[in-house]
Amino acid sequence: MKTRLSLLLAVLAATALVPAAAHEPPATPSPSPRLADLAPPADGASERTVTPIGQYGATRVMQLQLKAGTAMPAHSAPERVLVVVLAGRGSFGFGTGQVALHERQVLHMAPGEAHSVKAETDLDLLLVRIDEAASD
């Protein structure tokens, strides 16, 4: 029986690494809310689901599922983040650019990098958050 970590490594090995976007971060980035700070949908419907998978030292792994048509405004994470698209289609916004999302794609975000996401179809993402400050 595979452990969660070996399953995660198998998923990452089977994906194609795609650069998020060719963009310059703003000289003085404005603070963005964190994912956990975003308000729930006004109608109370569960348009997004965040499921913790595990923590491995300074690395946290979670699954984010968005229903088709769901948009999340710009937010950021203090950790380095890898986003693995498990299923679905959508788009990621970085600054003024957009990156189309498709199955088996991997995106990389630097700590504090603001981004937004929109699901065109039901979207299933694996988030790997690496806290580099804690691993020193």
pLDDT in tens, the chain (136 residues): 445 555 555 555 554 444 444 444 444 445 555 555 544 544 445 788 889 999 999 999 999 999 999 999 999 999 999 999 999 999 999 878 999 999 999 999 999 999 999 999 999 999 999 998 876 5
Tokens representing residue 94 in the block: 């970085």
**93 Cβ contact partners less than 8 Å away, ≥ 6 residues apart:** 74, 99, 115, 116, 117, 118
Domains assigned to the chain: 4-18+46-130 (2.60.120.10)
